[in-house]
Copies of this chain bind each other. A is one copy, B any other.
Amino acid sequence: MAEEFTIAPIRRLLKKAGNLRINESAANKLRDYLGEYGQLVAEKAIELAKKDGRKTVLERDIKGAALEIWIPEENEDE
């Protein structure tokens, strides 16, 4: 399980969306999902950079990777 993110920004994000109490396991679950998403995009982006013979991950690798996993709607047609 990816645990890249600390819990504080996750709780802030939930608090900002509506001032409700946040159960601990709820915050942990969102952290897990964020970690999984980030890891999948990162792995795919690395793959794209390598396939292109590059040693640097570029913005377009992140975009290309996210298109295969999940991307915010406003970015789909960029």
Contacts and interface: CB of A to CB of B under 8 A. Distances in A.
Interface of A: 2, 4-6, 9-10, 12-14, 16-18, 20-23, 25-26, 28-30, 32-43, 45-47, 49-50, 54-59, 61-63, 66, 69-72, 75
A26 B34 CA distance: 17
Sorted nearest first, the 9 A-B pairs with minimum C-beta distance are: A18-B46, A70-B70, A17-B42, A36-B72, A21-B56, A29-B62, A25-B59, A17-B43, A17-B46
A9 B5 contact: yes
Q: So how many copies of this chain end up in the complex?
A: 2
B72 A22 contact: no
B18 A62 contact: no
Contact of A42 (B16, B28, B45): B16
